[in-house]
A and B are shown apart, each in its own frame.
Chain A
Amino acid sequence: MKRLLLLLAFVGVALLMAWGFYQAIFVAPTEATMGDVQRIFYYHVPNAMLSFLFFAISFVASILFLAWRNGSPVRAQTADAWALAAAEVGVVFCSVVLVTGPLWARPVWGIWWTWDARLTTTLILWLIYVSYLLLRRFAEGAQMQTLAAVLSIFGALDVPIVYMANRWWRTQHPAPVFGGGPDSGIKDPTMLAAFGWNVLAWAAWGLMLLTLRVHVERRQQRIRHQQSVAALAGK
């Protein structure tokens, strides 16, 4: 039953991704000034939105871990698994954003990279979460989980500061597509549809990855627990 559900989930996500790809590449009209390169937008923006979502999940899970770690250790372990899994998936999505961004910027802006508000924020966000994952490899056990949760809180505090700093500094990135002013929003309905399908497809893929990763981490936690119990029993 479990296998069947998993298989169905895989097939469903694959179909969604294929449909999103078809919408973005073949159905959506070519943009007037940028041409075909604008189609990167259908991957870049959904990935950026979702990476922020995953980092937010990781942040909330870290706080929950700190809150539960003394009172209810089982729930705390689940929260820690979510924090780790969301940080990992978030780094993957953030990497996609950092790769697709320059690919688009080179033909449109004429440069690969610029130290602009959102580019810098995204890069620093990526750096912080990579350092978070590094910390998790450098230390062990319950102590590491606590330290990682603390670092995650620091990282989350850093992001708004970097963002505001860069807004005062300089900006070249296009204004926000949604909620960026009275003129924002996608006007062409087929473009909006292609965008919506891709957000949905990437969200489904990311959430599937996240739940699988949480399951794996929970199992590893149980194995480690059994091993330490066995070691204490002297086997």
Chain B
Amino acid sequence: MTTRLAAPERGWVALVWTHLHKDLRIEWRSREAINSMLFFALLVVVLFSMAFDPTAAASREIAGGVLCVATLFASVSVLNQAWTREIRHEVLDALRMTPADRSAIFVAKVLANFFFVTVVQGLLAPVFFIFYNLRPLGNGWLLLAVVPLGTWALVANGTFFAALSIRSRNRELLLPLILFPIFLPALLAMVLAVKTILTGDGSDPHLLWLKMLAGYDIIFMTVSLLLFDTVLQAE
């Protein structure tokens, strides 16, 4: 692999792009993350469908939850992978020694993971709508705002906590244990927003859940950016 070490004078955006480009290229060559996530999420959707055997009306009620939980479970393994890849050959230590801004590494990782999860959701969506016989009764276009915002909440926090748990014992186990409780408010907002859209019950005329999701994203992204250096340099 060509090494394109970022010199400090290369601006922040160029730095993000360098990291992002590297991650996307690794994924393009292996397709590990997307394939495993896709199959896992598909399994979760099928499992839920069999476990609950829902009618069309009940599907609308639970579909949002199933979509969120499927994404959540599927992305955990990939989020762990994102940083363990950097541990091999001490890449992470090398990154820590560069004079570049650490937040660029974090943002690039979040963008890469966000891209992977979004691709999986895009591929999964048709299957999901077929298996659950879904037809949004509300404003279906709003899903294009709700789902990315929820995914961002998951991926930003997940990337942060994966970096946090990377040097612990049992890091694969630890990530979900600390990520899920923190992610709960976003999960709640995402599930309720999707449910309102699918059932079209008009219970949320001011898009309160969408706003809450956006607020959650802004708050937690800010704190993650502020604390990422502390986590990366924790010794």
Question: Which B143-197 residues have a C-beta within 8 angstroms of A?
Answer: 157, 161, 164-165, 167-170, 174, 177-178, 180-182, 184-185, 188-189, 192
Scoring A124, A142, A147, A153 by chain B CB atoms within 10 A of each residue's CB, the highest score goes to: A147
A124 touches B184 (CB 8 A): yes
A131 touches B192 (CB 8 A): no
A165 touches B212 (CB 8 A): yes
One of B17-25, B62-70, B95-103, B216-224 contacting the partner: B216-224
Q: How many residues of B sit at the interface, in one of the four size bands?
A: 20 to 34
B208 touches A128 (CB 8 A): no
A158 touches B184 (CB 8 A): yes
B90 CB within 8 Å of chain A: no
Q: Distance in Å from the Cβ of A102 to the closest Cβ of chain B?
A: 20
B192 touches A158 (CB 8 A): no
Distance of A127 Cα from B208 Cα, bound (Å)? 25
B9 CB within 8 Å of chain A: no
B234 CB within 8 Å of chain A: yes
B227 touches A138 (CB 8 A): no
Q: Distance in Å from the Cβ of B120 to the closest Cβ of chain A?
A: 25
Distance of A162 Cα from B167 Cα, bound (Å)? 29
Which residues of the partner chain B approach A155 to less than 8 Å between Cβ atoms?
181-182
B123 CB within 8 Å of chain A: no
Main secondary structure on chain B at its contact with chain A? helix
Which residues of the partner chain B approach A134 to less than 8 Å between Cβ atoms?
174, 177-178
Q: With A138-B170, A138-B174, A146-B230 in contact, is A154–B182 under 8 Å at CB?
A: yes
B188 touches A165 (CB 8 A): yes
From B215, B219, B230, contact of A66 by CB (8 A): B230
Q: With A128-B181, A128-B182, A169-B192 in contact, is A161–B231 under 8 Å at CB?
A: no
Which residues of the partner chain A approach B174 to less than 8 Å between Cβ atoms?
134-135, 138
In this complex, what residue of B is CB-closest to A136? B168
Distance of A142 Cα from B233 Cα, bound (Å)? 11
B181 touches A124 (CB 8 A): yes
Distance of A145 Cα from B216 Cα, bound (Å)? 26
Which residues of the partner chain A approach B185 to less than 8 Å between Cβ atoms?
124, 158, 161-162, 165
Distance of A144 Cα from B174 Cα, bound (Å)? 13
Q: Distance in Å from the Cβ of A122 to the closest Cβ of chain B?
A: 13
Which residues of the partner chain A approach B161 to less than 8 Å between Cβ atoms?
151
Distance of A168 Cα from B174 Cα, bound (Å)? 32
Which residues of the partner chain B approach A56 to less than 8 Å between Cβ atoms?
none
Distance of A139 Cα from B171 Cα, bound (Å)? 9
In this complex, what residue of A is CB-closest to B157? A154
A-B CB contact pairs (8 Å), 23 listed: A124-B181, A124-B184, A127-B184, A128-B182, A131-B178, A134-B174, A135-B177, A135-B178, A138-B168, A138-B174, A139-B168, A146-B234, A146-B235, A147-B165, A150-B227, A151-B161, A151-B164, A153-B227, A154-B223, A161-B216, A162-B185, A165-B188, A169-B192
- Apart from A135-B177, A146-B231, A147-B164: 20 A-B pairs, beta carbons within 8 A: A124-B181, A127-B181, A134-B177, A135-B174, A143-B167, A143-B234, A144-B168, A146-B230, A146-B234, A146-B235, A147-B165, A147-B231, A153-B223, A154-B220, A154-B223, A155-B181, A157-B219, A162-B184, A165-B189, A169-B188
Q: Which residues of A contact B (CB under 8 A)?
A: 66, 124, 127-128, 131-132, 134-135, 138-139, 142-144, 146-147, 150-151, 153-155, 157-158, 161-162, 164-165, 168-169
Q: Which residues of B contact A (CB under 8 A)?
A: 157, 161, 164-165, 167-170, 174, 177-178, 180-182, 184-185, 188-189, 192, 208, 212, 215-216, 219-220, 223, 227, 230-231, 234-235
